[in-house]
Amino acid sequence: MKLWSLMRKEFHRFFHDPRLIVTMLLPGIVIFLLYTFVGEAVHTEPEKQNYKVFLQGESVTTAYIQAAIEANGDTVEWLPVENEADAGAAVEAGEAAAIMTFSTHFDDVFTDLTKTDGTVSILYDPLNEAGSSFYAISNAVLQKIGMKFSIQAVSIASEEHIGREVMQQILPFIIVCFVFSACMSVTLESVAGEKERGTLSTILVTSAKRSQIALGKIVPLACISMLGALSSFLGVVFSMPKLMGISVNFLGGYQVGSYFLLLLLIISFVPLIVALISTISTAARSVKEASAYTSVLMILVMVISLVAAFLPAIGDWVIAIPVLNAVVFTQELLAGALPVWQSLVSVGVNLLYTAALVFVMTKMLSSEKIMFGK
């Protein structure tokens, strides 16, 4: 009986509070909307591909490969190799998809079943879309023919290149995750917790300005979060290469300016997230409610940071979008670019958003409806 009463109380608390019901439904709605958006962005009609492939040696298998490519609606252009170095440079520059080299008398394997020394090598750049796609098609066709010849894949991308590419995609997302969780753990308790316990009201009775109270929360919480985020970030930086089996110091080789911009982007991003969570916590009536809203925000921020990995070459308009701007320019920095003005403007934009949120929080602290539910 007591247990039932206790359970009923919890159900009553939840289902009689429209706000909590909304917070339960919101994640689903947000996920649906965001995944629909991401899906549409990712699955747009791919452009028709014209594979330019340097060909050394001869084989009838090229006709099968060409047929497979054309079956997909794409085309292939076989180019003679006049100078091996030039051809290699064209592949490296992404101007050609691959260099396909057949050994002499390769096609003998089709007439003399005892022959096993035919080889075909495909030199390509796995980081190049056309290169990796041509290799995948050729490899599939040759495997299907199933004769006794060997296929050699020659990647021009070094292990370091691949490692850096992976990091470039993943790291901004990881940074966002750690920053957000660091901010969330300290901010919810400090703002929503204080409001719920009535200790925030005690401060409101003093002559401290509401803006001072808002800043007095956001600034130290941002500093604490920064430490948490930094410690997590460094942990990832030093453990990830080993975790992924990449023997590369992927942050090595960048310019000092890149490090500086990266740090600035993170520094601008942390107070923004803290200000966002603080504002939500001020509006919420309890820690429970604040954490429910913040979970939705967390999904939103994480999906936004993942979107950046799916959308190559986002325009400079991204500067105006908080979070996304930091993620995109962090990616560019990790890719070796130095988007100086874009990063600096993004930092300024993020700080402006933070200032706007401090203003909103100040207004909320002055609102008797929000603070005292009247």
Binding residues (CB under 8 A) for other proteins: these are 194, 197-199, 201-209, 368, 371-372, 374
Between 148 and 209, CB nearer to other proteins: 209
Across 81-221, where does the E strand assignment appear? 98-102, 118-124, 149-155
Query: Is residue 357 within 8 Å of 191, Cβ to Cβ?
Result: no
Q: How far is the CB of 297 from other proteins (least distance, A)?
A: 26
Nearer to other proteins, 205 or 256 (CB): 205
Of 49 and 211, nearer to other proteins (C-beta) is 211
Q: Tell me whether residue 148 or residue 197 sits nearer to other proteins (CB atom).
A: 197
- At 76, which helix (H) or strand (E)? strand 75-80
Task: Provide, rounded to whole angstroms, the least separation between the CB of residue 373 and other proteins.
Answer: 10
Smaller CB separation from other proteins, 202 or 231? 202
Task: Please answer whether residues 115 and 108 qualify as being in contact, where contact means their C-beta atoms are separated by less than 8 angstroms.
Answer: yes
123 DSSP β-pair partners: 99, 154
Question: Which CB, 26 or 203, lies closer to other proteins?
Answer: 203
Closest to other proteins by CB, 73 or 198: 198
Nearer Cβ to other proteins (194/332):
194
Taken as a whole, the chain contains a residue count of 374
Give the residue with the Cβ less far from other proteins, 81 or 371: 371
CA dist 65 and 134 (Å) reads: 9
Closest CB 26 distance from other proteins, rounded Å:
22
CA atoms within 13 A on the CB side of 272: 24
Question: What is the rounded distance in angstroms from the CA atom of residue 22 to the CA atom of residue 24?
Answer: 5
Minimum CB–partner distance for residue 193 and other proteins (Å):
9
List residues bridging with 124 in a β-sheet: 98, 155
Place of tokens 């252009």: 77
Shortest spacing between CB 289 and other proteins, in angstroms? 17
Walk across the sheet containing 98-102 and list its strands: 75-80, 50-56, 98-102, 118-124, 149-155
CB atoms within 10 A of CB 341: 9
Query: In the complex, what is the shortest distance from the CB of residue 185 to other proteins, in angstroms, rounded to a whole number?
Result: 16
In this structure, the strands spanning 118-124 and 98-102 are antiparallel
> What's the half-sphere exposure (Cβ side, CA atoms, 13 Å) at 367?
13
Q: What is the nearest approach in angstroms of other proteins to the Cβ of residue 313?
A: 50
Closest approach of other proteins to the CB of residue 370, in Å: 12
- CB 11, min distance to other proteins, A: 18
Cα–Cα distances (Å) from 296 to 27, 174, 192, 239, 293, in that order, read 5, 18, 16, 29, 5
Task: Show the tokens assigned to 300.
Answer: 């939103």
